Amino acid sequence: MVSRGQKFLERFYIGFVFFLLYAPILILIVCSFNASKARTVWGGFTFNWYVSLAQNEEVMAAVRTSLVLTFSAALIATILGTLACIGMTVMKKNSQSAIMSVTNIPMLNADIVTGIAIMLLFVRFAGLGMMSMLAAHITLGVPYVILNVMPKLKQTNRSAYEAALDLGATPTYAFRKIVLPDIMPGVLSGFLLAFTISLDDFVITYFTKGPGINTISTMIYQQVRRGINPEMYALSTILFLVILVFLWIVNRIQNDEPQAAEAQAKGKVAA
Amino acid sequence: MKRYLKIISLAGVMAALLIALVSCAGDDSASGESAAAGGDNTLVVFNYGDYIDIETLDMFTEETGIKVQYEQYVTPEDMYTKYQSGAIPYDVICTSDYIIEKMIQAGEVQEIDRSGMKYYDNLDPVYLDFCKAFDPENKYAVPYFWGTVGICYNTSMVDEEIDSWDILWDEKYAGQMVMENSMRDAFIVPLKLAGKSINTTEEGELLEAQEKLKEQKRLVMAYMVDESRDAMIAGDAAMAVIYSGDATVAMEYNEDLDYVVPKEGSNIWFDCWFIPDSCKHKSNAEKFIDFMNREDIAAMNFDYVYYGTPNKAVYDELDDETKEDTTIFPDEEALMRCEVYKYLGEETEKFYNRLWKELKAY
Amino acid sequence: MTKRKMLAGPYLVWAAGFIILPLFMILLYGFTSEDGGFTFSNIAAIADPIHLSALGQSIVIAAGSTVISLLVSYPLAYILSKRTSGKTSTVIMMFILPMWINFMLRVLALQMILANTGILNGILGFFGLEPLHILYSRKAILIGMTYDYLPFMILPLYNAMCKIDRDLVDAAADLGAGRFIIFSKVILPLSMPGVISGIIMVFIPSISEFAIADILGGSKILLIGNVIEQEFNLTNNWNLGSGLSLVLMLFIFGSMAVMNKTDADQEGQLLW
Task: Check: CB of residue A157 under 8 Å from CB of residue A190.
Answer: no
| Mean pLDDT of all residues in C23-33 | 92
Q: CA distances (Å), C53 to each of B360, B362, C56, C202, C227, in order?
A: 11, 10, 5, 21, 11
**What percent of chain B is predicted at pLDDT more than 90?**
78
What mean pLDDT is reported for chain B?
A: 89
Q: Which residues of A touch C82 (CB under 8 A)?
A: 267, 270-271
φ/ψ (deg, to 5) at B200: -65, 145
Q: What's the pLDDT score for residue C224?
A: 93
Q: What's the pLDDT score for residue C268?
A: 36
**Dist CA C101 CA B151 (whole Å):** 34
Q: What's the pLDDT score for residue B37?
A: 44
Question: Residues with Cβ < 8 Å from A260, sequence gap 6 or more?
Answer: A254, B3, C86, C87
Task: Tell which of A155, A232, A237 to mutate to test the C interface (max C CBs under 10 Å).
Answer: A155
Task: Look up the pTM and report it.
Answer: 0.87
Same domain membership, residue B295 and residue B262: no
Reported confidence tier of residue B12, pLDDT bands at 50, 70, 90: low
pLDDT of B20 above 60: no
Highest mean pLDDT, choosing among A176-180, B159-163, C67-71, C228-232: C67-71
Q: What is the domain count for chain B?
A: 2
**Dist CA B93 CA B100 (whole Å):** 10
Examine the fold and report which residue of B211, B236, B267 is the final residue of a domain before the chain moves on. Answer: B267
Q: What is the pLDDT of residues A71-94, one digit of tens each?
A: 999 999 999 999 999 888 888 888
Same domain membership, residue B101 and residue B237: no
pLDDT of B21 above 80: no
Of the listed ranges A22-31, B327-336, C117-126, C167-176, the least confidently predicted one is C167-176
Q: Which residues of C touch B77 (CB under 8 A)?
A: 233-234, 236
Bigger pLDDT: C162 vs B212: B212
Q: Do the domain assignments include residue B11?
A: no
Instruction: Kindly report the CATH number assigned to the domain that includes residue B174.
Output: 3.40.190.10
pLDDT of B2 above 60: no
Nearest to C92 among A90, A144, A189 (CB): A189
Query: Does any CB of chain B come closer than 8 Å to the CB of residue A166?
Result: no
For residues A188-222, one letter each, b for 16 or more C-beta atoms within 10 angstroms of the residue's C-beta and e for the rest, the string is: bbbbbbbbbbbbbbbbbbbbbbbbbbbbbbbbbbb
Q: What's the pLDDT score for residue B259?
A: 95
- Is C93–A247 a contact, with Cβ atoms under 8 angstroms apart? yes
Reported confidence tier of residue A247, pLDDT bands at 50, 70, 90: confident
Which DSSP string do the residues of C45-56 spell out, in sequence order?
Answer: GGGSHHHHHHHH
- Residue-number span of the structural domain to which B178 is assigned: 148-267
Question: Residues with Cβ < 8 Å from B182, sequence gap 6 or more?
Answer: B225
| Mean pLDDT of all residues in A247-253 | 77
Q: Do the domain assignments include residue B28?
A: no
**How, if at all, do strands B109-110 and B239-243 pair?**
unpaired
**Dist CA C189 CA A66 (whole Å):** 40
Q: Name residues 12-71 of chain A within 8 A of B (Cβ).
A: 36, 38-41, 54, 57-58, 60-65, 67-68, 71
pLDDT of A265 above 50: no
Q: What's the pLDDT score for residue B40?
A: 75
| Mean pLDDT of all residues in A123-128 | 83
Q: What's the pLDDT score for residue B19?
A: 56
Q: What's the pLDDT score for residue A32?
A: 94
Q: Find the residue in C nearest to B233 (Cα).
A: C117
Provide the CATH number for the domain formed by C48-220 in this structure. Answer: 1.10.3720.10
Residue ranges of chain A assigned to CATH 1.10.3720.10? 57-229
Same domain membership, residue B131 and residue B99: yes
User: Whose CA is closest to C89, among A15, A241, A80, A260?
Assistant: A260
Reported confidence tier of residue C97, pLDDT bands at 50, 70, 90: confident
pLDDT of C258 above 90: no
pLDDT of C155 above 50: yes
pLDDT of C60 above 80: yes
Same domain membership, residue B129 and residue B194: no
Same domain membership, residue B134 and residue B123: yes
- Is C235–B175 a contact, with Cβ atoms under 8 angstroms apart? no
Q: How many CB atoms lie within 10 A of CB B157?
A: 13
Task: Tell which of A109, A158, A162, A238 to mutate to test the C interface (max C CBs under 10 Å).
Answer: A109
Query: Does any CB of chain B come closer than 8 Å to the CB of residue A180?
Result: yes
Same domain membership, residue B223 and residue B156: yes
Examine the fold and report which residue of B208, B241, B267 is the final residue of a domain before the chain moves on. Answer: B267
pLDDT of B246 above 80: yes
Q: What's the pLDDT score for residue C45?
A: 93
| Mean pLDDT of all residues in B304-331 | 93
Task: Check: CB of residue B144 under 8 Å from CB of residue B127.
Answer: no
- Is C200–A220 a contact, with Cβ atoms under 8 angstroms apart? no
- Is A121–C21 a contact, with Cβ atoms under 8 angstroms apart? yes
Q: Which residues of A touch C248 (CB under 8 A)?
A: 108-110
Of the listed ranges A41-45, A253-257, C258-262, the least confidently predicted one is A253-257
User: Whose CA is closest to C19, among A98, A127, A104?
Assistant: A104
Task: Please give the span between the terminal C-alpha atoms of chain B, in angstroms, as a whole number.
Answer: 57
User: CATH second-level architecture of A57-229?
Assistant: Orthogonal Bundle (1.10)
Reported confidence tier of residue A231, pLDDT bands at 50, 70, 90: very high
Q: How far away is chain C from the Cα of B289, in angstroms, using its nearest Cα?
A: 28
Touching chains, A (3+ CB pairs < 8 A): B, C
Residues of chain C whose C-beta is under 8 A from some C-beta in B?
Answer: 50, 53-54, 89, 115-118, 133, 135-136, 214-215, 217-220, 222, 226-227, 230, 232-236
Q: Find the residue in A nearest to C165 (Cα).
A: A270
Q: What's the pLDDT score for residue A222?
A: 86
Query: Does any CB of chain B come closer than 8 Å to the CB of residue A192?
Result: no
Same domain membership, residue B138 and residue B104: yes
Phi/psi zone of residue C223: left (φ > 0), alpha (ψ -120 to 50 degrees), beta?
beta
Same domain membership, residue B53 and residue B131: yes
Q: How far away is chain B from the Cα of C49, in angstroms, using its nearest Cα?
A: 9
- Is B236–C50 a contact, with Cβ atoms under 8 angstroms apart? no
Q: What's the pLDDT score for residue B5?
A: 57
Same domain membership, residue B205 and residue B158: yes
Of the listed ranges A67-71, B78-82, B119-123, B237-241, the least confidently predicted one is B78-82
- Residues A204, A207, A208, A212, CA torsion sign: positive
| Mean pLDDT of all residues in B338-358 | 92
Touching chains, C (3+ CB pairs < 8 A): A, B
Bigger pLDDT: C118 vs C269: C118
- Is C219–B224 a contact, with Cβ atoms under 8 angstroms apart? yes
pLDDT of C132 above 60: yes
Bigger pLDDT: C70 vs B77: C70
Nearest to A102 among C4, C19, C102 (CB): C19
Q: What is the DSSP letter of A149?
A: H
| Mean pLDDT of all residues in B260-265 | 95
| Mean pLDDT of all residues in A231-251 | 87
Q: What is the pLDDT of residues B153-195, one digit of tens each?
A: 999 999 899 999 999 999 999 999 999 999 999 999 999 999 9
Examine the fold and report which residue of B240, B267, B294 is the final residue of a domain before the chain moves on. Answer: B267
**Dist CA C159 CA C235 (whole Å):** 44
Q: How many CB atoms lie within 10 A of CB A182?
A: 17
Nearest to B361 among C54, C115, C233 (CB): C54
- Is B26–A39 a contact, with Cβ atoms under 8 angstroms apart? no
What mean pLDDT is reported for chain A?
A: 85
pLDDT of C138 above 60: yes
